[in-house]
Structure 1
Amino acid sequence: MLWAARNGVLASWFGDPTGRTRARWVAQREAAGAPADKVIRRDDPDRFSFLVIGDTGEGDDPQYAVVPGFLKTGQDTRFAILASDVIYPVGSADDYGTKFFRPYRDYRAPIYAIPGNHDWYEDLGGFMRVFCDDAPPLPPAPRPRPLSRAWIRSLLWHRPRPDDGQRLDKARQLRSTPGQQAVQPGPYWAIDAGPVRIIGIDTGLLGRLDAEQGAWLRETSQGHRPKILITGSPLYVDGRHEPCAIEGGGTVDDIVRDPAHHYVAAIGGDIHNYQRYPVRLDDGRTLQYVVAGGGGAFMHATHTIPRVDVAGVTERDFRCYPLRGDSLAFYSRLYGRRMRLPRFFTLTEAEATAVIAERLGITPARTPDASTRV
């Protein structure tokens, strides 16, 4: 699996080709008739609900375990958005049957998506076929100059199998009703739904934007309509600010914070848990920065998040799920089993919560009994 998912490492070592590949996908979609402004205009009422689900597609027990809650919570929603890493490990088209169409076959509304780094490990081919009107494969890129960094990268680059996607037509039958269909103009887009504009951006392999997409984001963010950003790379995560650089200068968070753009929230996947940072800006607005990565992939730990003090957000305002103490208790049991020393490693939830409270000097959300020993 690590070898199949090697493209992220190669991009960081030998240069990231994501921006050029994305531009070719976008140009192909525009040539096929997709709107140049990449805006999906829906007929939604002024009051409605939609779902955002990050990091879904492993196709195993964790993904299927959350499906019943997803269906119950989402039964009256107008649509859903998958925020990052739709398919693990490398976004193969043939994986969409068990990791997208089958688990969400009973969700009766459309599903839109933005890609995560795992969807890019096969140059986004599977994602574009499923979400972008069965976009045909890209023609081969020009050959890089011999012995250049790009040439070395091309020799090692993971590419899809020639026969990948042969099972896709059969898988599509699981979500084939007219009400379930949605066509996107590309890997990044905006949705005008009721009173709000939802903007989805594609942060590629390394969590940044190319210049072309950055210019589009600035233009699409204009206007008085309230906006929500959906991104594959959260802007606040694990107590850190990750503003997401744009090629040529500036950051995504600069655009989100600009009062002229009227953003109310920025929601990102990639990290497999839930975190929320209500950041109060100088102009009096409060922007909700959310990590929404609990959509079905294995859960990332929260007990490793340090004491939060970032952009004026402290432990009083910060929220996460699972709670840090529950996360530590779970991992203590996990390592107890793996090391065959359960009595040495395992902590109860109360013990783990007491450890977190002492280590970080915080008041836990669920206070352990006073007799709990650290």
Structure 2
Amino acid sequence: MFQSDGLTPQVLVPGDGGQVSPPTKAAQGRDPVKWLSIGQLRRTALEVVQASVFAKFADKRETMSGCPREFYRLPTTDRAVWVDYVADTGDGFEATFATARGLAGVEDDGTPIPVAGLETELKDRPHQAHLLVMGGDQVYPVASVDEYRERLLKVFGQASRGKVHGRPPVVALPGNHDWYDGLVAFRRVFCESWALNQRARQRSGMVDLPAVRDDMGGWGAFQSRSYFAVQLSPRWWLWGVDSQLEAAIDAEQLSYFAEAATHLDGAGIILCTATPCWMEADTGAVYEADEQTPLFTMLWFLERILGAGWRDRVRLILTGDSHHYAHYAPSEGIGPDLVTCGGGGAFLSGTHHLPDTLKPAWRPWDAGSDNTTYKLKHRYPSKDDSRRQTTRFRFLAAAYRNGVDFPLLAGVVHALIFLAVLLRGPVLITIVAVVIAVLFGAYAASGVKGHRPGWPRKFAMFGLTIGHAALHAGPAFLVAWLGFGWELGGHEPWVYAVTAVGMVVLGTVVFVSYLHLADGFGYHTLEAYSGLRIEDYKCHLRLRVTADQVEVYVIGMDKVTAPLTKVEAFPVKRFPEPRG
């Protein structure tokens, strides 16, 4: 074993007793990302644009053809196999640590961490799962060596120290935030254990779980690519598909899963994806996905690899990306259970806008293809708890939780409006009006992104633009009117100082109020909740895999310091004889 900067792979054999070094002070106190900070938005936007442009011309997934093509096999056992699933982890320290502690499974004194409501169901579970699955967006806001080290590895290391032994295996799927650095940090952490092992470089096909694993905060990373296929038991497989930044599935990955399918022998599949693409079907009618959408890509991939009867094999689809828990189950027709569980550590996403019904068409390339009606079976937090996060003026917390540059920019906007009114210059007023219209129009467009195109979307953009402008311009005109015809100059300095402070406060309050009002109509929900930086309602999954079914246990924490509790439990059955 050798020391590194915290990201370079450390080759560890299970049982070697290697300890994770204590985290730095920064790791112990790194705060959640300030998503409404102007500086943060600028840096993230730049990374997103760069990653998106380069992804179009150089697909990093295609370079993985030089990595071992391995399909992993967990050790055979007569007992149930336990798999933990978590997604959207490395944000603020406290929330990520609370989740990592739950995954470690034991208290500091070695006693199991209880889960209220599941005492009997979990009694045969080992302290740690036989396999930990990380479902995407391992760090925020943008993947990098530093962010992985401080927001993930050291936090998991502190939670695992003295509790997790033998480097239990972990496999990971990259999300969009992991891709923003071109997948560099993700691959160094999860995909390079084979590189220093000559025998590993020559492996191919079905292999036992590698004994040589890289340290991932006390857990052992072993995969060779950003996608994976793991045989959990003779009758169940786990597949993780890398869709990059909502791109098409690359040829090398298609070839990999085509070969993996030859090993199924009638087994059921638990599929992991990077996004809850089925949420596109929130239309109230049968939804036929457009060709460039993530749902179309997933359906095309499944039929290409498994044939038209893929729904007999794929019995459960897991994803993160949205930072809450939601379970959709088929009520009419055949289809897999659809589960979103992105409560690993990032800010809470609201659940009160989740549709009660989804109707995806399974073959959108064929008009009138068969479809399945899904019903929302459970959500966490509840609809009422989700709404409660922003009621009674709680939404105003976003005004002071995102640094000083956000209020300052809001103050500048109001100052420009105020000056235009005071100077009574038609040219200046026109310029300010055009700038405001462009800015607010562009922001309104981002708020309705993902909604169905057409006149409803255009009306929503128009209404949001006018409403947002009115919220800002109205108070500025009122302040100018209360100034009783002020002219610039001739006033004490403190008058201008008080006015400037008032503009900052007023502009900030108006903006977060706009987000709150827009969320009430189902728009800008992501921005409304990310600005609040709510760390409560964390969740992860525990899967008990037996011969004919998978029992899914959803574990929740209402507060980051609260005990683990049962959120939901449901079985997923394997079809004895898949048709496809």
Pick the TM interval, shorter chain.
0.5 to 0.7
Which of 47, 62, 65 is matched with 1:27 structurally?
65
Which of 40, 50, 54 is matched with 2:72 structurally?
40
CA contact (8 A) 2:332 2:374 kept: no
Identity of aligned residues (%): 25
CA contact (8 A) 1:18 1:205 kept: no
The answer to whether the aligner puts 1:277 opposite 2:332 as a matched pair is: no
Match of 1:188 in 2: 227
Per-residue deviation, 1:189? 1.0
Match of 1:360 in 2: none
Letter in 2 for 1:93: V
Matches of 2:216 and 2:221, distance apart in 1: 14
Match of 1:62 in 2: 95
Match of 1:227 in 2: 269
Matches of 2:194 and 2:56, distance apart in 1: 20
Per-residue deviation, 1:59? 4.0
The answer to whether the aligner puts 1:331 opposite 2:384 as a matched pair is: no
Matches of 1:41 and 1:53, distance apart in 2: 21
Q: How does 1:122-137 map to 2 (within 5 A)?
A: 122-133=181-192
Matches of 1:273 and 1:256, distance apart in 2: 30
Deviates more, 1:199-208 or 1:75-84: 199-208
Tell me: CA distance 1:258–1:290, structure 2 relative to 1, closer, same or farther (3 Å): farther
CA contact (8 A) 2:215 2:221 kept: no
Matches of 2:222 and 2:394, distance apart in 1: 42
CA contact (8 A) 2:189 2:221 kept: no
Q: Where does structure 2 lack aligned partners over 5 or more consecutive residues?
A: 1-39, 106-114, 116-125, 196-213, 288-292, 361-371, 401-508, 514-521, 523-580
Q: How does 1:175-324 map to 2 (within 5 A)?
A: 175=218, 180-195=219-234, 196-206=236-246, 208-222=248-262, 223=264, 224-237=266-279, 240=282, 244-246=295-297, 250-252=300-302, 258-259=308-309, 262-279=313-330, 282=333, 285-311=334-360, 312-313=372-373, 315=375, 317-324=376-383
Per-residue deviation, 1:236? 2.3
User: How well do the aligned residues superpose, as a CA RMSD in angstroms?
Assistant: 3.4
Which of 114, 119, 127 is matched with 1:75 structurally?
127
Per-residue deviation, 1:126? 0.7
Matches of 1:2 and 1:213, distance apart in 2: 33
Matches of 2:154 and 2:355, distance apart in 1: 38
The answer to whether the aligner puts 1:4 opposite 2:36 as a matched pair is: no
Matches of 1:254 and 1:277, distance apart in 2: 24
CA contact (8 A) 2:103 2:128 kept: no
Matches of 2:220 and 2:98, distance apart in 1: 24
CA contact (8 A) 1:41 1:193 kept: yes
Number of aligned residue pairs: 294
Tell me: CA distance 1:337–1:250, structure 2 relative to 1, closer, same or farther (3 Å): closer
Per-residue deviation, 1:278? 1.3
Tell me: CA distance 1:252–1:88, structure 2 relative to 1, closer, same or farther (3 Å): farther
CA contact (8 A) 1:67 1:104 kept: yes
TM-score with structure 1 setting the length = 0.67
Per-residue deviation, 1:62? 2.3
Counterpart of 2:104 in 1: which secondary structure?
Answer: helix
Matches of 2:247 and 2:88, distance apart in 1: 15
Tell me: CA distance 1:121–1:88, structure 2 relative to 1, closer, same or farther (3 Å): same
CA contact (8 A) 1:243 1:253 kept: no
CA deviations on 1:148-182 (whole Å, 9 max, x unpaired) are xxxxxxxxxxxxxxxxxxxxxxx95952xxxx323
Tell me: CA distance 1:237–1:173, structure 2 relative to 1, closer, same or farther (3 Å): closer
The answer to whether the aligner puts 1:52 opposite 2:91 as a matched pair is: no
Matches of 2:91 and 2:397, distance apart in 1: 23
TM-score with structure 2 setting the length = 0.45
CA deviations on 1:274-300 (whole Å, 9 max, x unpaired) are 111112674xx5511111111111111
CA contact (8 A) 2:65 2:252 kept: no
Tell me: CA distance 1:172–1:184, structure 2 relative to 1, closer, same or farther (3 Å): closer
CA deviations on 1:285-325 (whole Å, 9 max, x unpaired) are 5511111111111111111223434355455x532111111
Match of 1:85 in 2: 137
Counterpart of 1:318 in 2: which secondary structure?
Answer: strand
Answer with 1 or 2: which has the greater Rg.
Answer: 2
Counterpart of 1:328 in 2: which secondary structure?
Answer: helix
Deviates more, 1:296-305 or 1:327-336: 327-336
Q: Where does structure 1 lack aligned partners over 5 or more consecutive residues?
A: 137-170, 346-355, 357-374
Matches of 2:332 and 2:271, distance apart in 1: 17
Per-residue deviation, 1:326? 0.5
CA contact (8 A) 1:234 1:269 kept: yes
Match of 1:157 in 2: none
Counterpart of 2:340 in 1: which secondary structure?
Answer: strand
Match of 1:99 in 2: 151
